[in-house]
Amino acid sequence: VAMQPGMPQGAGKANGTAIVTLPGNPVSALVSFEVFVRPALRAAMGLPSPLRPRRTAVLTEDLTSPGGKRQFRRGVFDAAAGTVTTYGPPASHHLRWLASANCLLEIPEDVTAIAAGEQVSLWDLSSGGHP
């Protein structure tokens, strides 16, 4: 999958049982779960809002992203100020920063840089999945 973190993953059936394989690094596993598994499970349960709430916020710093990959970065969203700051390095083995992040910044595959002061899309992890 052309996303970072979370490239090596899969889905299929084994002996009639649906399986999903997630990446081995903890941040990659969480992001892959949020993008692919959580919405499917919530939809299968008939819940009205299977997706995490999407928000936009003003980025407080410059950031770069690899071209050709949809990137998810850990962040801290300040709803009162309408701002978001990336949190920790982008590598998928940095679990410490994930523990206190409250959002994932979503950077499209065709974007390689976003300047401070620009709007960025984010997935709000602080709510239980309700708008």
Which run of H or E residues covers position 73?
strand 70-78
- For residues 89-99, average pLDDT: 70
Task: Kindly tell me if the per-residue pLDDT of 129 is higher than 60.
Answer: no
* Residue 105, CA distances (Å) to 5, 7, 47, 48 in order: 12, 17, 24, 23
Per-residue pLDDT, 130: 46
pTM of the model: 0.84
- For residues 85-103, average pLDDT: 78
pLDDT tens-digit map of 16-42: 998 999 988 888 898 999 999 999 999
Q: Give the pLDDT band (50/70/90) at residue 7.
A: confident
